Structure 1
Amino acid sequence: MILVTGSTGNVGRNIVRELLAAGEQVRALTRNPAGSGLPAEVEVVEGDFTRPETLAAALDGVRRAFLFPLFGELESFLGHARRSGLERLVLLSSSAATFATPGWIGEAHLRNEAEVSASGIDATFVRPSLFMANDLAWADQISAVGVVRGPYAKARMAPVDERDVAAVAAAALTSAGLLGHVSFTGPQALNQVERVRTIAEAHGVTVGFEEIPRSEAHAHLAEHMPPPAADFLLDQLKEAAEGKGEPVSTAEPVIGRPAHTYASWVQHRIADFRR
């Protein structure tokens, strides 16, 4: 039995699909089982990292688990995991953990990795670059005004499809030898203008990109995340605009197929842009 936490999110839902396709028994942890929308063959259980009393039952009989990276909330889960005899953990981390200056986000993921390592459970840390799914935040601007406003228009980055992140995690859960760290990006380095153009072409509309000052972008981001996290994200965009972005390194050797391109991801999620 494999437990998937964060099972209704962009990555978790795809991990469930990958594991079922591989013939694995899957248990999914979610706060709202009735609204999970997961396949009938999945054992869906109610649970929450912030409610430790729900975790023992969720881990009963489980030997492998995917761990969603809730910052500061892993202690109870790991304690129950040790007591239940869990044999393998796959933690979703971030490529920021590999940076010379990890910043707020990278340091938070490194703390998670250290906590999992200290548990003594065999573990794999999946470290993708930024997600293509982050660009769904542009959907309202595209539909409402036909212009995406953001900082550092020329920031060239290689975002990764959540389906590829899930495929790496599923490989780590089902392969006896895939331990340690797996870092990867998407297959193409594209700037923000190019990504908006790709969405517009698939959507059949005209969409522009308006560059805004860093201060305005920071004020918006800080409404949704701690200010140091906003600083880190903007620093990464600035470096990418200066040609210092991550080198492209895909997950193909792990997943055994080509990584999804940005255009293929847009087609996969086009309904979400049209809502």
Structure 2
Amino acid sequence: MTTLVTGATGNVGRLVVEELLRAGEPVRALTRDPGSAGLPDGVEVVAGDLAEPETLRNALDGADRMYLFPYARTAREVVDLAKRSGVRRIVVLSSGAVTGGLDTDFHLPVERAVEESGLEWTHVRPGEFMLNKLWLWGPSIRAENVVREPFPDVAWCPVHERDIAEVAAIALLADGHQGRAYDLNGPELISRRDQLRAISAALGREVRLEVVSPARARELYREQGGFAAANADFLLGFESYSGERADPATLERLDLSAYGPLPTAEAVTGRPARTFDGWAREHAADFR
């Protein structure tokens, strides 16, 4: 009984591997570059690329469960190959934007490919990742001890990456989760200002907050590169999830409290979802 983890070196996939190992399960990890995977001992690391489904044949041989990183363009080919190889259960890393009807091009096609395959399926739909703040704020905190933010009082319920991985692992290993889509959020509505305070407390020093315009923040994100540059327009409200032009003022007026309590990992794990304060302490070294 082997589980194939695609996207195994990613921020969630790596943790899914750890959770499966902790449960004593055989794990096969798919990565484009096995030599640099850096995964724990006991993991069978194999080469393959979701963009090229034929490269997955060896990885799928003998696997009966699969954690599927979303790649819409080849999703149907990958799922069909998995089914023909003997996989019976697939857990998809999806997005809460599917639940909200905002995502029709990225994660939804992967979900549909799995559902229509006739295999057992579970969708894991996280909202905003706590990790976003490491990718967005980490460079300026490390270099200048400052965060430049246009919307410090906008609040959200960011989710811990370990909570996502635990839910995915449970759905892979346990019965009773098939045919379910789990929306995952953090346990608290916390403003960006308070997120920065939590990071400051974890570092043992005050990180300065500089409020800037959305346009200036976009310039800085683009200069920073990586995740910030790739997602600047969406994260700062200049475009919608589907890529249409939008007004950043809409993001500033967003009031998530109107939606009431949002679902967390606790409904699946039976344990309270992890807080942003705890996440900041765990990642303090990453901000230094």
Common fold: TM-score over 0.5? yes
Shift of 1:267: 1.5
What letter corresponds to residue 168 of structure 2 in structure 1? Answer: A
Number of positions where the alignment pairs a residue of Structure 1 with one of Structure 2: 271
Q: Match for residue 147 of structure 1?
A: 146
Q: Could you tell me which residue of structure 2 aligns to residue 187 of structure 1?
A: 187
Deviations 1:221-265 (A, max 9, x none): 684149567623668843535755673322112112121111111
Q: After the TM superposition, which of the residue ranges 143-152 and 40-49 deviates more from structure 2? A: 143-152
Deviations 1:7-62 (A, max 9, x none): 11111111111111111110000111111111110100011112222111110000
* 8 Å Cα contact 1:154/1:241 also seen in 2: no
Q: Tell me: CA distance 1:91–1:226, structure 2 relative to 1, closer, same or farther (3 Å).
A: farther
Q: Distance in 1 between matches of 2:86 and 2:252?
A: 45
Indicate the residue corresponding to 2:208 in structure 1.
208
C-alpha change, 1:232 and 1:239, in structure 2 (3 Å) is farther
For 1:95, the equivalent position in structure 2 comes to 96
> How much has 1:5 moved relative to structure 2?
0.6
Contact 1:151 1:213 in 2 (8 A): yes
Given residue 68 of structure 2, which amino acid in structure 1 is its aligned partner?
L
Match of 2:239 among 196, 218, 231: 231
8 Å contact 1:95–1:106 — kept in the other structure?
A: no
Query: In the alignment, what sits opposite 2:245?
Result: none
TM-score, structure 2 length as denominator? 0.86
1:47-97, CA deviations, whole angstroms, 9 ceiling, x for partnerless residues? Answer: 111222211111000000000112323233112112112100000111111
- Whether contact under 8 Å (2:6, 2:67) holds in the other structure is yes
CA contact (8 A) 1:157 1:246 kept: no
Give the direction of change, closer, same or farther, for the CA distance of 1:241–1:216 in structure 2 (3 Å limit).
Answer: farther
| Pair 1:32–1:166, CA change in 2 (3 A) | same
Q: Which amino acid aligns with 2:155?
A: R
| 2:271 corresponds to 1:257 | yes
The amino acid of 2:122's aligned partner reads T
Q: Distance in 2 between matches of 1:22 and 1:263?
A: 27
2:253 and 2:75 mapped to 1: Cα distance? 32
2:239 alignment partner AA: D
Which residue of structure 2 lines up, in the alignment, with residue 121 of structure 1? 119
Aligned twin of 2:176: 177
**Contact residue 157 and residue 240 of structure 1 kept, 8 A:** no
* Letter matched to residue 140 of structure 2: Q
Q: State the Cα deviation string for residues 104-136 of structure 1 (Å, max 9, x = none).
A: x46522222122222222110001111101111
* CA distance, structure 2, for counterparts of residue 226 and residue 70 of structure 1: 21
- Which residue in the other structure is 1:168 paired with? 167
Identity of aligned residues (%): 42
Alignment of 1:25-64 (within 5 A): 25-64=26-65
1: CA distance, partners of 2:255 / 2:267: 28
- 18-27 or 44-53: bigger deviation: 44-53
State whether residues 53 and 74 of structure 2, in contact with CA within 8 Å, keep that contact through their aligned partners in structure 1. Answer: no
Match of 2:282 among 253, 257, 268: 268
CA spacing shift, 1:3–1:246, aligned 2, 3 Å: farther
Partner of 2:78: 77
The CA deviation at 1:214 is 2.9
Structure 1 residues 267 and 22, CA, compared in 2 at 3 Å: closer, same or farther?
Answer: same
Structure 2: 5+ residue stretches without partners: 223-227, 242-247
Deviation (angstroms), 1:206: 1.6
SS at match of 1:154: coil
C-alpha contact (below 8 Å) 2:64/2:87 kept by paired residues:
yes
- State the Cα distance separating 1:151 from its structure 2 match: 2.6
SS in structure 1 at match of 2:159:
coil
Quote how far apart the aligned CAs of 1:218 are.
4.7
CA distance in 1, matches of 2:250, 2:71: 22
- Cα offsets for 1:186-210 (capped at 9, x unmatched): 1111100100111011112221222
Contact 2:131–2:160, Cα closer than 8 Å, also in 1: yes
Cα RMSD for the two superposed structures: 2.3
SS of equivalent residue, structure 2 residue 183: strand
Write the distance in 1 (CA, Å) between the matches of 2:69 and 2:20: 16
The one-letter amino acid of 1:9's match is G
